[in-house]
């Protein structure tokens, strides 16, 4: 964090500054990015007095991040990351994100905040800029030592925020910046954070209360709210000293409609949406579009449609064929929201299978591999589920209401799985049940069912999926060993295995063929991955949050001896 803070620089007018900057930089940013920068300057004109905004460095659904340069009081120029939140973000949510950064940030691998600008419903969080390499770009060239370092520093950041009672809820590589040259790390993006019961972040208590009251989980970010905000949410900002030490959270537009997702389009709102749509195409900036293929493709586990039952290589039956179009019948895995004890299989067997939505009839799907219409029409259980499906812990995927910091640890485990296999994203699913099915493929279906039972959820899987040996799995996916049929880590007919590091000539199912196995790289330490690495992976990916290792414990794991 800067001692001096950004100084004023009145030399730039809003109009024309983009062109001037482009000249100075001597390289082109796309016209889209130029327009976005211009839009930002118009939305928050104060920025122009402090920053020369030169590029867009990140873009998600809920924010765009820009690179800005400011001249400090001492004359030095310094780079900043300017996070422009979408104007529909809830004020409390924004304030909570800022409070996480101010209270916990700036040390222990957690990003800090320098300043915050606001005009109307536009908020820009200014952070020190951290140069970093997109995860996908470096994944294939990381040495094992670097992987060890990376995961250690991630756990350090997690220990730190967990000590404050912050659950990040969106741990994934794009939120953990890594500067490879300088070996520095920074956890960013508290836009989905929630508090534990004892959280020290006051506003996270508010976020929690609000979400509990509203019964929508922590969807404040994922589904921009258009609700009346508290009249003035004040957040103490610690820096810089020469500026006011409080900010008032912005009031969302007064044009709230009853719809939860639509806010009446003001002129500027329309501009925002246009901007967002346009910049979607420039997503490569955030590295998201460069992601190689996932280990799993959704179709593998959800190929509901008339899968030829006689297909020679189909070993497991995913679903019972159904005549209806009911999407529920496609479910590969089903989660029963009521505890097992409240079910009586005998009585459910008697129920007719015909749809009986909203007639007060009882469920007919118990102990079957489908979800009946009665269950489909039930109210959703209220539980936080924000985050990215492929990184969600089993207790999140099954909507367990009691979620804690262990969910971040699971996500760290998924990152380690990517690091050890060289595959990113490892799990890819748009749907929670598909994500759960993918987890079962690695961790075992019986094990998953058992863990779910322990946290109060009944999960059923239509077939048995054995738990994989993690070393075999990682070495196979990395291309270090060719599995014999017995030790095949994944079921070929159902799991689409693609190796992003491989030339495109490789066929997904061709791993058995000798010529398709990549040459093992004995350098970089990958020939001697210690057992401790897989042990830590196993503990991070503990299906049961109650027994899952904590960040504090993980930092003392034998894998990190000597750190």
Please identify which of the residues 36, 55, 121, 170 carries the catalytic annotation. 170
DSSP E strands, 270-392: 333-336
- Whichever of 263 and 335 has its CB closer to Zn ion, that residue is 335
**What does the block give as tokens for 274?**
């246009």
Tracing tokens 């969302």 back to the chain, one arrives at 252
Q: Please give the residue whose beta carbon sits closest to Mg ion in the complex.
A: 189
Task: Give the x-and-dash track for 282-301 against ligand ADP (CB under 6 A).
Answer: ----x---------------
Residues in 25-54 that interact with ligand ADP by CB under 6 A:
none
Q: What are phi and psi of 58, to 5 degrees?
A: -165, 150
Q: Which of 466, 453, 390 is nearest to 424 (CA)?
A: 390
Q: Is 189 in the site for Mg ion (CB under 5 A)?
A: yes
Q: Give how far Cα 522 sits from Cα of 9, 300, 518, 529, Å.
A: 53, 32, 12, 11
- Whichever of 137 and 464 has its CB closer to ligand ADP, that residue is 137
Question: Is residue 250 within 8 Å of residue 120, measured between CB atoms?
Answer: yes
Among positions 5, 6, 58, 91, the unique one binding ligand ADP when judged by CB under 6 A: 58
Number of residues that bind Mg ion (CB under 5 A): 2
Sequence-separated (6 or more) residues with CB below 8 Å from residue 413:
537, 540, 541
Question: Is residue 333 within 8 Å of residue 460, measured between CB atoms?
Answer: yes
Beta carbon of residue 191, minimum distance to ligand ADP (angstroms, whole number): 4
Could you say which DSSP state residue 198 is in? T
Q: Is 189 in the site for ligand ADP (CB under 6 A)?
A: yes
Q: Please give the residue whose beta carbon sits closest to ligand ADP in the complex.
A: 58
Among positions 102, 175, 218, 300, the unique one binding ligand ADP when judged by CB under 6 A: 175
Q: Is 89 in the site for Mg ion (CB under 5 A)?
A: no
Dist CA 242 CA 6 (whole Å): 10
Question: Which range in 171-179, 229-237, 354-362, 442-450 contacts ligand ADP by CB under 6 A?
Answer: 171-179
Question: Which range in 188-196, 370-378, 425-433, 537-545 contacts ligand ADP by CB under 6 A?
Answer: 188-196
Tracing tokens 């048995």 back to the chain, one arrives at 464
Q: Which does 65 bind (CB under 5 to 8 A by kind): Zn ion, Mg ion, ligand ADP, none?
A: ligand ADP
Question: Is residue 118 within 8 Å of residue 13, measured between CB atoms?
Answer: no
Question: Is residue 242 within 8 Å of residue 103, measured between CB atoms?
Answer: no
Which positions lie near Zn ion, rule CB under 5 A? Answer: 363, 365, 372, 375
- Whichever of 111 and 142 has its CB closer to ligand ADP, that residue is 111
Give the bridge partners for 246, in sequence order. Answer: 236
- In the residue annotation, 431 being an active-site residue is answered as no
Among positions 63, 114, 196, 364, the unique one binding ligand ADP when judged by CB under 6 A: 63
Question: Is residue 275 within 8 Å of residue 36, measured between CB atoms?
Answer: yes
Residues in 75-134 that interact with ligand ADP by CB under 6 A:
81, 83, 111, 127, 129-130
Q: Which does 83 bind (CB under 5 to 8 A by kind): ligand ADP, Mg ion, Zn ion, none?
A: ligand ADP
Q: What is the end-to-end Cα distance of the chain in Å, rounded?
A: 26
- Whichever of 65 and 372 has its CB closer to Zn ion, that residue is 372
Beta carbon of residue 45, minimum distance to ligand ADP (angstroms, whole number): 22
Question: Is residue 18 within 8 Å of residue 48, measured between CB atoms?
Answer: no
Among positions 37, 44, 50, 57, the unique one binding ligand ADP when judged by CB under 6 A: 57
Q: Residue by residue, what is the 3-state secondary structure of 413-432?
A: HHHHHHHHHCCCCCCCCCCH
Dist CA 358 CA 84 (whole Å): 44
Beta carbon of residue 395, minimum distance to Zn ion (angstroms, whole number): 22
- Whichever of 172 and 210 has its CB closer to ligand ADP, that residue is 172
Q: Is 272 in the site for ligand ADP (CB under 6 A)?
A: no
Q: What is the radius of gyration, based on Cα positions, of the chain?
A: 25
Residues in 144-183 that interact with Mg ion by CB under 5 A:
175
Sequence-separated (6 or more) residues with CB below 8 Å from residue 358:
377
Q: Which does 399 bind (CB under 5 to 8 A by kind): ligand ADP, Zn ion, Mg ion, none?
A: none
Dist CA 472 CA 482 (whole Å): 9
Tracing tokens 């262990």 back to the chain, one arrives at 406
Given the rule CB under 5 A, which residues bind Mg ion? Answer: 175, 189
Given the rule CB under 6 A, which residues bind ligand ADP? Answer: 57-58, 60, 62-63, 65, 81, 83, 111, 127, 129-130, 174-175, 177, 188-189, 191, 286
State the catalytic residues: 170
């Amino acid at each position: 964090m800067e001692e001096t803070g950004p100084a004023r620089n009145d030399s730039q007018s809003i109009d024309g500054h983009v062109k001037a900057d482009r000249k100075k930089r001597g390289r082109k940013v796309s016209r889209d990015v130029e327009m976005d920068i211009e839009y930002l300057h118009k939305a928050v004109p104060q920025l122009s007095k402090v920053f020369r905004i030169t590029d867009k460095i990140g873009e998600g659904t809920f924010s765009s991040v820009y690179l800005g340069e400011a001249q400090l009081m001492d004359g030095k120029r310094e780079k900043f990351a300017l996070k422009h939140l979408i104007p529909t973000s809830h004020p409390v949510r924004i304030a909570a994100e800022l409070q996480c950064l101010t209270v916990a940030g700036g040390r222990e691998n957690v990003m800090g905040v320098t300043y915050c600008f606001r005009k109307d419903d536009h908020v820009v969080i200014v952070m020190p800029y951290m140069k970093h390499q997109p995860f996908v770009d470096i994944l294939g060239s990381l040495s094992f030592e670097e992987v060890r370092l990376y995961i250690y520093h991630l756990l350090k950041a997690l220990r730190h925020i967990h000590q404050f009672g912050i659950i990040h809820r969106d741990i994934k590589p794009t939120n953990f910046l890594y500067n490879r040259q300088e070996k520095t790390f920074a956890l960013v993006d508290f836009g989905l954070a929630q508090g534990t019961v004892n959280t020290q972040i006051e506003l996270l208590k508010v976020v929690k209360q609000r979400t509990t009251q509203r019964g929508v989980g922590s969807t404040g970010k994922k589904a921009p709210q258009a609700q009346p905000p508290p009249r003035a949410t004040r957040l103490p900002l610690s820096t810089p000293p020469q500026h006011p030490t409080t900010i008032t959270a912005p009031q969302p537009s007064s044009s709230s409609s009853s719809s939860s997702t639509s806010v009446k389009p003001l002129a500027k709102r329309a501009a925002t949406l246009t901007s967002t749509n346009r910049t979607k195409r420039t997503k490569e900036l955030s590295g998201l579009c460069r992601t190689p293929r996932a280990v799993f493709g959704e179709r593998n586990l959800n190929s509901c449609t008339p899968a030829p039952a006689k297909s020679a290589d189909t070993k497991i039956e995913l679903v019972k064929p159904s005549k209806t179009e009911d999407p529920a019948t496609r479910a590969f895995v089903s989660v029963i929201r009521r505890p097992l004890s409240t079910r009586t299989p005998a009585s459910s067997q008697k129920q007719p299978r015909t749809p009986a939505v909203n007639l007060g009839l009882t469920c007919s799907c118990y102990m079957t591999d489908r979800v009946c219409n009665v269950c489909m029409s039930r109210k959703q259980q209220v539980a936080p589920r924000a985050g990215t499906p492929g990184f969600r812990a089993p207790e999140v995927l099954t909507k367990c209401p009691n979620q804690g910091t262990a969910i971040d640890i699971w996500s760290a485990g998924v990152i380690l799985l990517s690091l050890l296999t060289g595959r990113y994203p490892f799990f890819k699913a748009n749907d929670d049940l598909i994500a759960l099915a993918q987890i079962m493929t690695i961790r075992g279906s019986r094990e998953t069912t058992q863990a779910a039972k322990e946290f109060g959820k009944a999960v059923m899987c239509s077939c048995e999926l054995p738990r994989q040996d993690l070393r075999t799995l990682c070495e196979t996916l990395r291309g270090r060993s060719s599995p014999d049929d017995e030790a095949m880590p994944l079921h070929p007919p159902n799991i689409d295995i693609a190796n992003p590091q491989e030339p495109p000539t490789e066929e997904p199912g061709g791993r058995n063929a000798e010529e398709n196995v990549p040459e093992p790289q004995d350098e970089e330490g990958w020939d001697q991955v210690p057992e401790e690495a897989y042990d830590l992976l196993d503990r991070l990916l503990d299906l049961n949050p109650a027994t899952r290792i904590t960040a504090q414990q993980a930092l003392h794991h034998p894998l990190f001896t000597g750190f």
